[in-house]
Amino acid sequence: MLQLYHAEPGANSLKSMLCLKEKGLDFVSHYLNLAEFEQHNPEFVRINPNGQVPALVHNGQVITESTLINEYIEDVFAEPPLRPADPVARWQMRFWTKFVDEYFCPALSVLGWQQIIKPMVEHLSEEEFEAKIARIPLKEQRDKWRTAATQSFPQEQLDDCTYKVDVSLQKIENALAKDDWVAGPDFTLADISCFAMISPMPMFYSALMNENRTPHCMDWHARMMERPAVIETLAMAHKPLPTSAR
């Protein structure tokens, strides 16, 4: 049996939800509301000691880290293949999933946190806030929460992150100018990783991603939005999603 602990269909949660759907795999969905800090609940921290979603449970074994969850799903459920058979094409695919994890996602994450954390915590008393922070397993995550909630990130860091998001989009744009899909002629886990980041960007980052600046990204985004697996996955949203991300 497959169980997935996940948040809304966005970012890293979307990455693994979409991989399961593209494979046509049934899974038990366990929704965690990040706005209620449910990923730091003791019951979930027993499943993933880092207190981070998504987490896949397969026959009782916990598998974490969205990119590695997707490689695991591919290792266990080979059909339909989302990883190229040719080793060079496979390397190319992994180059993108690694790029998303180490460059695109961390930059986008800071910009997202800057937007969402303050409204999530401003109704809490200092004691309530400290109690929430104390449950976060990773020091790095505690530091990031505290910065986002109490003092904002420095403008220099926000500018640097915006630069990196733009570099990421331009790299993907250049790739899509050459091929139909991010890592080449076939739809792969690279498309899933990139779409997990880009999904709401035509609405929220329209200054960076639009018909003039990134026409191939816009076309690819439209093709992604027509895939049955994408439609099904985005329909799993618990909160209303903005129109362009549905």
By the criterion CB under 8 A, which residues form the site for a second copy?
61, 63-65, 67-68, 71-72, 75-76, 87-88, 90-91, 94-95, 98, 101-102, 139, 163
Spacing of C-alpha 202 from chain mean position: 16
**Considering beta carbons, is residue 95 or 131 the nearer one to a second copy?**
95
**Considering beta carbons, is residue 56 or 121 the nearer one to a second copy?**
56
Minimal distance, residue 147 CB to a second copy, in Å? 13
DSSP 162-196: HHHHHHHHHHHHHHHHHSSBTTBSS--HHHHHHHH
- Cα distances from 168 to residues 10, 21, 131, 211, in angstroms, run 17, 26, 36, 16
Cβ atoms 224, 230 nearer than 8 A: yes
What DSSP character marks residue 37? Answer: T
**Considering beta carbons, is residue 67 or 233 the nearer one to a second copy?**
67
Cβ atoms 14, 200 nearer than 8 A: no
Gap between the Cα atoms of 103 and 197, Å rounded:
11
Which tokens go with 122?
């401003």
**Considering beta carbons, is residue 95 or 242 the nearer one to a second copy?**
95
**Considering beta carbons, is residue 150 or 206 the nearer one to a second copy?**
150
